[in-house]
Amino acid sequence: MLSQAQKKQLKGLANTLDIKYQIGKCEITDNVLSVLDKGLTAHELIKVDVMKSVVTPIMELALDLSSSLHAEVVQVVGRVIVLYRPNKDKPKIKLVKN
């Protein structure tokens, strides 16, 4: 569980990120989970754009993704979900202490 200070830090880092991942009308598939898992392993912090064709509520989709990927939802802004999962082998982001 991330503290408020850690979420604030990650939100600041997410502002500079480009959106590299999208979820379309097929919503959450094994292929989407595989791509997002690789992205989280490589970058730790990713932005996911949810297309307008997705009918599932964004917050529900964010929670489903976080539980499937063992990641934390940093924030949901509009149709963009920011996810964080630390890399256990080679951490790139050093979080502030509580």
Taking only the tens place, the pLDDT of each residue in 33-84 is 999 999 999 999 999 999 999 999 999 999 999 999 999 999 999 999 999 9
pLDDT at 1: 85
96 φ/ψ angles, rounded to the nearest 5 degrees: -70, 155
pLDDT at 98 over 80: no
Of residues 59, 52, 60, 67, the one with CA closest to residue 22: 52
pLDDT at 28: 93
Sheet holding 45-50, edge to edge: 21-23, 45-50, 80-84, 72-77
SS3 14: helix
